[in-house]
Amino acid sequence: MEKAAIILAAGVSSRMNTQMPKVLHEVCGRAMLDYVLEACRQAGVTKIYVVVGFGAEQVQQNFADADDVVWVRQEEQKGTAHAVMCCTDYLQNFEGDTLILCGDGPLIQGQTLKVLVDKHEKEKSAVTLATALLDDPTGYGRIVRDDYGNIEGIVEHSDCDEKQKQIKEVNPSYYCFDNQKLLEALKQIKPDNIKGEYYLTDALSILISSGNKVVAVTAVRPEEAMSVNSRSQLSAVGKVMQSRVQNRLMENGVTIVDPVNTWIDSRAQIGQDTTVEPFTYIHGSARIGSHCRIGPFAYIEGGTELKDGTITRPVMSVKFDVAEESKEG
């Protein structure tokens, strides 16, 4: 079945104290939104709608080569469901499934979305959620199930009673909707809350109350549930992504002597049996051949191409002759 995706990328991040659109902040050299787009493509999505608002022109310019993206304007931010409503003109005749994701969650992976889609198709549900189990679920909406394991709804953290706060299963906001069921539910959502906004989670309550099948599958790893709302969270997400970048390279035959003291851009390419020494920084789309030795204390600039067998020298190398130094002393 054909799949579409709506990526919510219109919000302003006051906590990040920035003049840039949040989704353009980089994680290991790439904009956060870039990773979400990649995950959608890996999951077989053929129609991608990105909802933009604050800094819309800047976001669109940054992804000017993304031919598979339709840009949708949300002129006034009135909540997550309102952002989805902005896409209804594009989706009103679409009979497939629609994924809804957030553009500030760069750790989501295509394989996770495939699990979500496969579960949705198998269950033939109106909507399927991909959930996560967290040791510390503070701040996340809790997944409430009945005694048979069926989902009853999502309760936001601020609305949880003491018992619900003990629930470890949370909603990281990865949804797969039957598109026509989604459109029906959107028409019924009311901004009956303190903020006066339209919440996407209300669509689930509407579908459940009208007898539709709603399913939740625990498919999201704890790290994938991390989103970015502050500079400290951006740093934390960057560390997870850097680990992924380095693990991928090591699986492909690259030796990284000291991963903690090495930074490699996600766009860099490194050949088999190359060794990366400590305190090396590889930036941008650098291309390094096989059987090279990089560092220690090396800076490889973006766009650099190193042939097979290249050996780089440290940025600064000082050699002391201990015997002569002793004589002088």
Is residue 279 classed as helix, strand or coil in its secondary structure? Answer: coil
- How far is it, in rounded angstroms, from Cα 109 to Cα 151? 24
pLDDT for the residue 133: 97
The CA-atom distances, in angstroms, between 14 and each of 11, 27, 158 are 9, 19, 20
Is residue 94 classed as helix, strand or coil in its secondary structure? Answer: coil
pLDDT for the residue 158: 83
Q: In what helix (H) or strand (E) does residue 183 lie, and over which residues does it extend?
A: helix 179-186
Is residue 325 classed as helix, strand or coil in its secondary structure? Answer: helix
The pTM score is 0.92
Q: For the chain of 329 residues, list the mean pLDDT of each consecutive stretch of 10.
A: 94 88 97 98 96 96 96 94 97 96 97 97 96 94 91 88 95 96 97 88 93 95 94 97 98 98 98 97 96 96 96 66 48
pLDDT for the residue 321: 53
pLDDT for the residue 313: 80
pLDDT for the residue 13: 80
Tokens 């049996």, located at residue? 273
Amino acid at 190: K
pLDDT for the residue 12: 82
DSSP state of 224: G
State the DSSP string of 234-249. Answer: HHHHHHHHHHHHHHHH
- Name the CATH superfamily for 3-225: Spore Coat Polysaccharide Biosynthesis Protein SpsA; Chain A (3.90.550.10)
Is residue 203 classed as helix, strand or coil in its secondary structure? Answer: helix
The CA-atom distances, in angstroms, between 95 and each of 69, 92, 211, 255 are 19, 8, 20, 48
Cβ 137 vs Cβ 170: under 8 Å:
yes
Expressed in percent and rounded to 5, the helix, strand and coil fractions of the chain are: 30, 25, 45
Domain with CATH 3.90.550.10 in the chain: 3-225
Q: In what helix (H) or strand (E) does residue 143 lie, and over which residues does it extend?
A: strand 141-145
Closest CA to 295 of 254, 257, 242, 250: 257
Burial 246-268 (b: 16+ CB within 10 A, else e): beebeeeebebeebeebbbbbbb
Report the interhelical angle of 32-42 vs 110-123 (nearest 10°). Answer: 50
